[in-house]
Chains A and B, each alone.
Chain A
């Protein structure tokens, strides 16, 4: 089970993280150790077994599609790192 630096860079990019060279080395060895440990699950025969995504037997809890009160725009934008006067989040340009 090899976790190369390239693997670490690939995962970090997916996870939107930047790691220093030192951090990448450490991460590569940490992940390797943990993945080796969790590999023991391969000992378990799970051929006829259904996966459990949720312990409760409830599915798709729905409510009526009626508008209800929610947090005010003001309250929500108050905690934003950057908000515009018109009441939007400010972010770097997305579309060229």
Chain B
């Protein structure tokens, strides 16, 4: 039996019962990576030496009293390459951070290390998390394990693909406009964006500070709940982190759903949604009815403005956040330049890819004198209305259901010639980031050509327990998980 195929929950049992050693687990995972990653191309770097060293140390804890304090003891975890690990590379798949070795750990990295998880490598992403297909990586294009000619989604495409390929057991990604949930849907895995502020952003290389969140990508909902427990919590180093206790999310799974109301927003079920996606999501809604929840048609009237709002706010924040890449303190510095300003211009022009430049330009424009009110301020006001849509909706329902994406995974190269076409793949996911509410994508079926389709569940602020509970019970009843990609 291949240990890399197990879930974190299953693996931890085997490790603690001494059925397998942590070293063996790593052997199986690294073998699987060797077998598949030349085709999937999910990983940018592996840290075998460190991982095996960690395994050796962790093995000593197995069977002792201390074991209890390690909820993820020995579990391999892949990390999107926009989170920093001390002594390791963090490239954001950008030339501007090529060879950048971080001098410190992200808070989530400290947390997962303390929990006993073993970081096995860094995964590919769209450069600086800007993209929906992982085609904007300056390093390599990750493929969807279900069909290697298709995108795994983005920007956490690598993190999602390696879960689908069983070349890791857990993954950490980041979500700014849907970058965890959309690849989770395309790759047939579970992916969750927590409430804004639930997980510390310290050590997450910033894209859009009011939207970014780190979250889990896993094989099932239980593992997401488990990983979320570990990474959540207040952090004094992140002034935007929530100072609220972290519930035991795993204990929320299986609670009674009687009386729960699930809202179906009509704006998410129109002609922009592909027929096959529509039909699978409708099937999923029937399963929810079988679980005993009541359904209610609701309206989120400002949904159609979400993508426009997002692309003004996110690019504005990105233009500010990426101003730090100027060749002075870290990253790429041009070899030739005439003066200081020229050094900035040359370094940045050489270091940033096309999409990143496009977004920086757009962001700079919307913040520039004379345009700030018309664009940025306006977008922030529409954002308030989008938030209010959800606040109103949650007065009459507990959770909201939508498709995660308007289509199944598109072909590589299909949407790269028109930036706007690519941006529109985010229509179902960006609202949650704008409002700051949590959202999860769970697999809900396959298209006729065997591509995964995702169901999105959205919850109110800090209602992760409710969200995970519904997702878990749906997953148990629907049984979609049983299939695996035919990767040899």
Partner-B contacts on A (CB < 8 A): 7-8, 11-12, 14-19, 23, 27, 30-31, 33-35, 37-38, 40-44, 46, 49-56, 58, 61, 63, 71, 75-76, 78-82, 89, 91-94
Contacts and interface: CB of A to CB of B under 8 A. Distances in A.
B410 interface: no
Query: Chain A interface mostly helix, strand, loop or mixed?
Result: loop
Interface in B175-233: 196-197, 210
B329 to A, nearest CB: 6
A17 B360 contact: yes
B329 A89 contact: yes
B387 A11 contact: no
Contacts of B341: 16
Contacts of B243: 58
B13 interface: no
Contacts of B362: 31, 34-35
B326 A92 contact: no
Contacts of A55: 196-197, 210, 387, 435-436
- Among A8, A18, A31, A52, chain B packs the most CB atoms within 10 A around the CB of A52
B357 to A, nearest CB: 6
Contacts of A81: 327-328, 330-333
B487 interface: no
Contact of A56 (B196, B333, B385): B196
A34 B419 contact: yes
Contacts of B382: 41, 44, 46, 49
Nearest to B326: A16
B236 A63 contact: yes
Contacts of A16: 323, 326, 341, 344-345, 348
B346 A80 contact: no
B308 A14 contact: no
Given A34-B311, A41-B309, A71-B104, 12 more contacts: A15-B319, A41-B308, A46-B385, A50-B381, A51-B380, A52-B380, A55-B196, A63-B236, A71-B103, A79-B330, A92-B337, A93-B339
| 8 nearest A-B pairs in the assembled complex, by CB-CB distance | A55-B436, A51-B380, A81-B333, A46-B381, A61-B239, A75-B103, A38-B308, A16-B344
Contacts of B52: none
B86 to A, nearest CB: 9
Given A17-B345, A55-B210, A79-B100, A89 B328 contact: yes
B305 A44 contact: yes
Contacts of B240: 54, 56, 58, 61
- Among A78, A81, A82, chain B packs the most CB atoms within 10 A around the CB of A81
Interface stretch (B20-28, B287-295, B371-379): B371-379
B312 interface: yes
Contact of B385 (A18, A27, A49, A93): A49
B302 A44 contact: yes
Contacts of A35: 362, 365
13 contacts: A34-B311, A37-B308, A37-B420, A38-B311, A38-B379, A42-B378, A46-B384, A51-B384, A52-B387, A82-B333, A89-B328, A91-B328, A92-B340
B416 interface: no
A41 B345 CA distance: 33
Interface in B305-339: 305, 307-309, 311-312, 319, 323, 326-333, 337, 339
B210 A79 contact: no
Nearest to A13: B345
B77 to A, nearest CB: 25
B242 interface: yes
Contacts of B197: 55-56, 58
B298 interface: no
B397 to A, nearest CB: 20
A61 B357 CA distance: 32
B385 A44 contact: yes
A34 B304 CA distance: 15
A66 to B, nearest CB: 13
Nearest to B327: A81
